[in-house]
Structure 1
C-alpha cells in the first residue's frame, strides 16, 4: 500500500495526475476508449450526459496530455477516430480498479 508522507514534494505526482485527469468526464472518456478506437459520435453516445462541446474540449485536453490520439482519415467527409495512447493504456489498471470500487460503493451507498 502506498504511504503518503507529509512532505509536499511527495504529493507532486498525485497533483500532476489529478490535473491531467481532472473533471467529470476524462476518466469516462478513457474508460470508453479502453475497449478500442471510437469516432466522435460513438463517444458522444457512450459517455452519457456529455455535450458535444464538452466532449470536444475534453478530448483536446486528453490529447494534450498524450492520453488520447486523434487520427484523421482521407475520406469524404473526413473520418476522425480517437484512441487511447500507450501512455493512456498505462491507466487501464487504475480505470479497472476504479470501476470495481464504484460498483462496491454503489452497493454500499445505494444498496443496488
Structure 2
C-alpha cells in the first residue's frame, strides 16, 4: 500500500503484508469503510460469502478476519459485490450486480442486512 503525500503523489510503499486473506479462487477484494470509523476496511467476496478485515491504526493496519457471513443473494458466478450507502443513512449497504438484476440489502440499525 502506498499513501499519497500532501501533494497527492505516491513515492514509496508504506505498508505490505504477507497474508492468505482473500487469495482463494474466485475471490475479489474491495476496500471501503464497512464499520463507519473513517478507515477503508478490506472486503473479500466470492460467490455466496463475504469476509471483512477492519482497518486498524497505521501501525496495525490489517490484523485478520473480523467477521464473515453467507450472502446467498450474491452467489452466482460473476456476481459483483459493492458496499455503499444507498439510502443516505450513513451505513454501508450490500449491493450485488448480477447478470440480469441489481440486488440491494440495506444495513439495519442492529448490524444485520
TM-score of the pair, normalised by structure 1: 0.21
From the two aligned structures, give the one with the greater strand fraction: 2
From the two aligned structures, give the one with the greater helix fraction: 1
Please identify the structure whose Cα radius of gyration is greater: 1
TM-score of the pair, normalised by structure 2: 0.21
